Amino acid sequence: MIFGIRIITDDLDRLVGFYERVTGAQAARPTPFFAELRLETGLLAIASPATVAMLGEHAPRPRSNDTVLIEFLVTDADAEFARLRDHLHDIVQEPATMPWGNRSAVFRDPDGNTVNLFSRPNG
């Protein structure tokens, strides 16, 4: 089983570029309205509303998420945050140590989705 997340957006190119920068992966673009980043531990898909239109009124809406964090486990949250900092426009939390020991940096992607880069103590 492979784990995946799909983000629905009105600006596919912008969001694909953002997540290519965050992950360092190149997105596959099989259609103009869908992209997929194949990561070591799962898939991150980015798609236009057309990909969920058949769900009608129950379809996910772009820029409406306020309940899910998109999390990436990285070796060094501070270094990854420093690498991305100039490209981030909405920083929620600079790198900080959480009460449970993880080092975490939180920001929002261009659509307002919350992203957490975190590293665990001792690698």
Domain 63-123 superfamily per CATH? 2,3-Dihydroxybiphenyl 1,2-Dioxygenase, domain 1 (3.10.180.10)
Class of domain 1-54: alpha beta
Using DSSP's 3-state secondary structure scheme, residue 83 falls into helix
Domain boundaries, the chain: 1-54, 63-123
Q: Which residues pair with 114 in a beta bridge?
A: 69, 108
pLDDT digits (tens, 9 = 90+) for 6-51: 999 999 999 999 999 999 999 999 999 999 999 988 999 999 999 9
Q: What is the C-alpha separation between 93 and 86, in angstroms, rounded?
A: 15
| DSSP structure class, residue 61 | -
Strands 42-47 and 34-39, sheet pairing:
antiparallel
For the cut 90, the answer to whether the pLDDT of residue 120 exceeds it is: yes
Mean of pLDDT over the chain: 93
